[in-house]
Amino acid sequence: MFTLKIVKGAELAEGVRAEMPLPEALSRFTVGRDPANPWPIPDKTLAISARHCEFVAAGSRVLLRDLSTNGTFVNGSAVRIAGDHVLRDGDLIAMGPYVIEVRGHGAHAASAAADDQVTLHVPRSAVEPRSPSVEDTAPIRGGDPAAMLAAGLGARPPREGLTEILMAAPPVDDADVEVTKIRMAPKAPPASAPAPATPAPAPAPAAPPVDPVTAALAQGLGLPHAALAGRSPAEAAAQVAGLARAAVFALRQVASPQDPLRAAPTPEAALQALLALGAGAAALLQRSAQEAAAPNDKRP
């Protein structure tokens, strides 16, 4: 008896049975996507019909019959079988993405005639009774050879199904194909849209914050704050203190012996006395400066 084996496409469906023997007592054996078939073959591309083809016994022969929409093809033919094909050892049956190889022989293969190798149109009376197939139950579809033959409309040209298109198409070699990246072009502004406004100039950097210590020192010296810019409060205080000490030292050199600044034993003691006077220290320094600038004969 014959054994059917998937030689191409078995990897496309998980759990598919790759090899299936036809039963010894063969009456009707269907193949297709429907799990109710004796040999269900899943197909995500849907190129295989729910009941794609069937194998039936006809005397000493086993016949292959196409029930599909997209066609069943034998031995590399580009034309789908239009009738009952007598099954032979070594036949290659193409359906959708699958290729099935036939191995074995029929019940009386040795007595089969040589013309059994071609597709035959066996009268239905020669085939054992079977349940209605697609040809019997489906409405006539334009271009469906099985339905057309059943209705005696074989004069119409057969329709090209998905399998014919896949078989006739040349193989695609995309090794040298370059993928072009598509970029969206910027939308052009409407004709009435106003011209874009000139961007405002960047704001000027903010001025550094004024330190209150250096500001107070500058104010006490009668100078703008910029005179002490770039100095830390400690640096500005040390510089102003040094100038005050030098001024008191110089004023002590020219002051009269009766001047309080001269009476202090050291410049530091004179500075300490001035600080103790608070606001009156400025008046004392001014009087000492005036007396030092007066002629000697006018000094007290």
The predicted pLDDT at position 265 comes to 75
How many structural domains are present in the chain? 2
122 and 46 in a single domain? The answer is: yes
User: Mind listing the pLDDT tens digit of every residue in the chain (300 residues)?
Assistant: 899 999 998 888 778 899 999 998 889 999 999 999 999 999 888 899 999 999 999 988 999 999 999 999 999 999 999 999 999 999 999 999 999 999 998 654 433 444 444 444 444 433 344 445 444 444 444 445 554 455 454 444 555 555 666 566 555 555 555 555 566 666 666 666 666 777 778 777 766 677 787 787 777 777 787 777 777 888 878 887 787 777 777 777 777 776 776 677 777 777 777 777 776 777 777 777 777 777 655 555
Q: Which domain holds residue 268?
A: 212-298
45 and 103 in a single domain? The answer is: yes
For 253, list phi and psi in degrees, rounded to 5. -70, -30
Domain membership of residue 93 (yes or no) is yes
Tokens of 173: 């070699």
In the block, residue with structure tokens 């033919």 = 77
Q: How far is C-alpha 279 from the chain's CA centre?
A: 78
Domain membership of residue 272 (yes or no) is yes
- Please give the model's pTM, rounded to 2 decimal places: 0.40
C-alpha to C-alpha distance for 173 and 116, rounded to whole angstroms: 39
The predicted pLDDT at position 264 comes to 73
Tell me the chain's radius of gyration from C-alpha atoms.
57
Domain membership of residue 180 (yes or no) is no
C-alpha to C-alpha distance for 110 and 106, rounded to whole angstroms: 9
